[in-house]
Amino acid sequence: MEKVLIVDDSKFSRTTIKKALESIGGYEVVGEAIDGVDGVEQYETLQPDLIVADMEMPNLNGLEMIKRIRILSNDVKIVMVTSVANQHLLQDIKKLKTSIVKKPFKEGDLLQAIKSFR
């Protein structure tokens, strides 16, 4: 069972991601963070195997959060869920060893992004 941290300022999105992971199976959501600052703090405490995060969040966006987490670990799998399709941003995210799922997503899209780390 892989431990997962969900980071999204939208309760609805966190619930949607959690349900998708439960449906896929093999994942246990151990924490939910409401912004990037909370995401970094919870990462340090929980040490999850996987982070599923939104791009656009208050206080610290997803890209900046990933940069901070990558200083702490190069091993944690990170999936960025975003509606932003800017090519420059997508390249920056991929450089940080992060998979991308575009909103709105289906369970299969999330599963494919997670499996891209194997």
**What is the domain partition of the chain in residue ranges?**
2-115
The rounded radius of gyration (Å) of the Cα atoms in the chain is 13
- 7 or 114: whose pLDDT is higher? 7
CATH topology of domain 2-115: Rossmann fold (3.40.50)
Q: Which of these, 74, 76, 75, 93, lies nearest to 84 by C-alpha position?
A: 93
Q: What is the reported pLDDT for 94? A: 78
Average pLDDT over residues 11-25: 92
pTM: 0.92
pLDDT 10s digits, 92-104:
877 888 888 888 8
Average pLDDT taken over every residue of the chain: 91
